[in-house]
């Protein structure tokens, strides 16, 4: 099996970020973003997606978390796009429902080559720790724009905002794991009638 890894750096006046991914990893997260709750969520993506992630980020956190969270989504999306290659032989689609106590979320992803985020989540709190819950949308928008995926995120139930977020990121990891997995029946073919994605 060809190694499906990538390392991408993004260096702006607001952030300096390097992300490494291994799509066929052991589910390990190393490094940190500087935003503690986001690190907790990225650990869920790695663990439940069986994706190794290494994140080195410095951002203008003295202003707020916005630039770091958004730019991390962008850089992660770029790393996924590089690691996945031309997408031959993958399942392409992935989906997951994940509960945590009273909360339940559904995430569906398509490595379609078309960027689209459809997120129906009403967080019950404006912030979790210090992290503004509006920034989750920014993170996922950055990811889909640069990974070139279609992503549907629905929080179906939940009144604890921490649980809402955690079910979303766990389901995101599980959906990614399914979508990027190599399909033995596809035998290296392009998973599209167009012949490309």
Tens digits of per-residue pLDDT, 17-43?
A: 999 999 999 999 999 999 999 999 999
Please, which residues have CB within 8 angstroms of residue 40's CB and are 6 or more apart in sequence?
Answer: 166
Provide the H-helix boundaries in the chain: 36-49, 66-84, 135-147, 161-180
Per-residue pLDDT at 1:
59
The CATH code that applies to domain 5-180 is: 3.30.230.40
Per-residue pLDDT at 195:
86
CA 161 – CA 158 distance, rounded (Å)? 7
**Would you call 185 helix, strand, or coil by DSSP?**
coil
Per-residue pLDDT at 12:
97
Please, which residues have CB within 8 angstroms of residue 135's CB and are 6 or more apart in sequence?
Answer: 65, 66, 69, 70
Low-confidence spans in the chain with pLDDT less than 50: none
This prediction's pTM: 0.97
Q: Which two structure tokens, joined as six digits, stand for 190?
A: 């392009």
Please, which residues have CB within 8 angstroms of residue 89's CB and are 6 or more apart in sequence?
Answer: 182, 183, 186, 187, 188, 189, 191
For residue 141, which phi and psi values (nearest 5 degrees)? -65, -45
Residue with tokens 């916005």: 66
Per-residue pLDDT at 2:
82
* Selection from 38, 146, 39 nearest residue 30 by Cα: 39
**Would you call 151 helix, strand, or coil by DSSP?**
strand
CA 148 – CA 150 distance, rounded (Å)? 7
């Amino acid at each position: 099996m060809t190694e499906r890894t990538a390392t991408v750096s993004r260096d702006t006046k607001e952030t300096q970020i390097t992300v490494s991914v291994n799509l066929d990893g052991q589910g390990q997260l190393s490094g940190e973003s500087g935003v503690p709750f986001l690190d907790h969520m990225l650990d869920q993506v790695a663990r439940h997606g069986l994706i190794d992630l290494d994140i080195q980020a410095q951002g203008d956190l003295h202003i707020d978390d916005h630039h770091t969270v958004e730019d991390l989504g962008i850089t992660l999306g770029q790393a996924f796009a590089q690691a996945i290659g031309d997408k031959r032989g993958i399942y392409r689609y992935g989906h997951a429902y994940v509960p945590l106590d009273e909360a339940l979320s559904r995430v569906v992803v398509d490595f379609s080559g078309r960027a689209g985020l459809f997120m129906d989540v009403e967080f019950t709190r404006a912030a979790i720790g210090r992290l503004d819950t509006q920034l989750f949308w920014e993170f996922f928008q950055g990811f889909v724009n640069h990974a070139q995926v279609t992503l549907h995120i629905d929080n179906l139930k939940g009144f604890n905002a921490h649980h809402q977020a955690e079910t979303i990121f766990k389901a995101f990891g599980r959906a990614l794991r399914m979508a990027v997995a190599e399909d033995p029946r596809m035998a290296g073919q392009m998973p599209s009638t167009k012949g490309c994605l």
